[in-house]
Amino acid sequence: MPSDDGMTIGFIGLGVMGEPMCRNLALKSGHSVIAFDQEPAPLQRLAAVGVHAAGNLREVAEAASVILLSLPGGPQVDRVVRGPDGLLAHGRRGQTVVDMSTAPVELDRAIAADLAAAGIDFADAPVARTRQAARDGTLSITVGALPEVFARLQPLLACMGNDVLHCGSVGCGQVVKLMNNMVLFQTVAALAEAMAIAGKAGVDEALLLRALSNGSADSFALRNHGLKAMLPRDFPEIAFPTDYAIKDASYALDLAQATGVDARGARLALETLQRSSEAGQGGLYFPALLRLVAGEI
């Protein structure tokens, strides 16, 4: 299964974002791709574009030179890398592991140190933007890595994203991603409050969002989360759920505490997300918090 240059890419985690990312990698990179997920369905779909299905983590570790992870969060990343049957146990000197999940900064830095002791390079490269961007290969990818590691990885990451930014040493990609999400959650919470207030004061929600988009309150969150999800009240379970947003917001606040910053706005956004989850919306696309703020649930 190796490609002509002998290089095989591993991909672990084929969820909402991971599956289309792996598909783009297989279609664009020119390398063989081997993937693993606990669910068989995405592996079956990816077989159509030449992705080889691994039966376990060990198969990926033994076959691949570069291994990309797209997992739900820190505990899963830790288990896949440092678990008893994980990549550290079965990896080899000269490999590179790339965490494209959103994970705690200190966890990725600790994993990087453990892998380095085994001669394995590490980079954190979390992704931003939407499911459609993952399909289109237009993700924003923020990378923490040594410069020479980033240089090797950039062509692969460019198969999945059109904005690939080297942010500094290991962990810095996660810092930037967490700050992106922290601002996003606060913006969506602010939009929910504005829509609830305006609606109860007699202003049409669509008109409000149109006016905001024409003024200084315009934002990516307004044009995507506001217009495409909050206005039509469309909060699918197959998008980025409230409970994932809570996880990311918690990681951001852990980082705030570690750096001595009093992030009050982020705490309030997290509180709203938690209340939304407690109201039964944990599995719904996180802008569903509008229904809580507007008193609709």
- Catalytic positions, written as ranges: 177
| Burial class of residue 264 (count of CB atoms within 10 Å of its CB; 0-12, 13-18, 19+) | exposed
Tokens 């792996």 sit on residue: 22
Looking up tokens 């499911």 gives: 131
d(CA 101, CA 49): 23
Q: How far apart are CA 100 and CA 97, in angstroms?
A: 10
At which residue do the structure tokens 């309150």 appear? 217
Burial grade of 21 (CB within 10 A; 0-12, 13-18, 19 or more): buried
Contact 141, 163 (CB under 8 A): yes
Among residues 117, 124, 6, 15, which one has the least CA distance to residue 64?
6
As a whole number of angstroms, the distance between CA 62 and CA 40 comes to: 20
Hey, which residues does 33 pair with through a beta bridge?
9
- CA-to-CA distance for 62 and 166, rounded, in angstroms? 28
Do the beta carbons of residue 60 and residue 1 sit within 8 Å? no
Phi, psi of 127, rounded to the nearest 5 degrees: -115, 155
User: Which three-class secondary structure state does DSSP give residue 5?
Assistant: coil
